Amino acid sequence: MFASKRKGTVIAEGLKIIGNVSADGAVEVNGQVDGDLHCTSLIVSPKALISGGIKARSVVVNGKVDGPISGEDVILKSHAFVTGDIQAQSLSIERGAHFDGRSLGPEVTNLRQVEEPAPNGQLERVRPALFKKEAEPKTKVEEPAPNGQLERVTPALFKKEAEPKTKIARRSDLKQ
């Protein structure tokens, strides 16, 4: 009878949650969360405070966040005050927002890991994944330029796990 069409959770002003929060849909924080927050999308209102890591696809901050943020799209509104690294594909910062941290691309994996719900519903710490680099850039120097200086050739990618090496071919080697 009174069912709402929108699916979301509101953490009201005056409410303080101590511990990690996990939600399937959208979360709007007007109060305080002392712990990690994991959801689909997050709105942090001007009076809100989050002390912990945030992981969501879409994050809009207009309040205070003390901890790392990981998401696809992160927007820091004019009243945002963020202390912590932000890992995102897209980061927008409005005039007036305060940001003290690093802006990292989506490929970086050294952020403090936030907790995610396990299949049994309990929160568990996510372990950082180790990625194997399959392609290392190498620079080849093929021959000296007419002025006697060595010229660089555009770096190429090779599927070898060894350290990058530089090849130098001299004119005397090429004539043989």
pTM of the model: 0.60
Residue 8 to residue 145: CA distance in whole angstroms: 65
User: CB–CB of 13/31 below 8 Å?
Assistant: yes
User: CB–CB of 14/32 below 8 Å?
Assistant: no
Phi-psi region of 87 (alpha: psi -120 to 50; beta: other; left: phi over 0): beta
Residue 137: the pLDDT is 47
Residue 152: the pLDDT is 53
**pLDDT tens for each residue of the chain, 176 residues long:** 444 455 789 999 999 999 999 998 999 999 999 999 999 999 999 999 999 999 999 999 999 999 999 999 999 999 999 999 999 999 999 999 999 999 988 775 554 555 555 566 555 544 444 444 444 444 444 455 566 555 555 454 544 444 545 555 555 555 55
Residue 83 burial (C-beta neighbours within 10 Å; 0-12, 13-18, 19+): middle
Residue 131: the pLDDT is 45
Residue 138: the pLDDT is 46
Residue 122 to residue 116: CA distance in whole angstroms: 8
